[in-house]
Amino acid sequence: MSILTDGTQELHSYLFKVRDSISDNSTNLDAIKSSLVELLVYLCSPEGRTTENCISTDTFFRLHADYGFNWLHLPEELQLILGDIGGRTHCLSF
């Protein structure tokens, strides 16, 4: 499993909360939604909206299997959203 080296420690805590909510192989959609909202709110905040944080988030979602989780057990619509996060977050820092 890869270890995040970029981004803030606060970002890492949000990312791993998302990972944990997804990787328990349950479909607790409320927990997943809550963790995603917290992450995205942080990334849009003045302290979270950095190039480094956005690139780290992008990498985390694009290479999710390297971080020990997948989302194949989730509804297809949510899988698509999670997949898109990996391609969209690199734009937030601009």
pLDDT of residue 47: 92
Rounded Cα gap, residues 27 and 66, in angstroms: 21
Rounded Cα gap, residues 67 and 40, in angstroms: 19
Compare 38 and 55 and report the one with higher pLDDT.
Answer: 38
pLDDT of residue 12: 93
Residue whose structure tokens are 């990787």: 23
pLDDT of residue 33: 95
pLDDT of residue 70: 87
pLDDT tens for 50-64 read: 888 988 898 888 888
Compute the average pLDDT of residues 25-38. Answer: 91
pTM: 0.84
Contact 71, 82 (CB under 8 A): yes
pLDDT tens for 12-23 read: 999 999 999 988
pLDDT of residue 3: 59
Tokens, residue 23: 């990787």
Is a pLDDT exceeding 60 seen at residue 94? Answer: no
Contact 90, 54 (CB under 8 A): yes
Residue whose structure tokens are 């992450």: 39
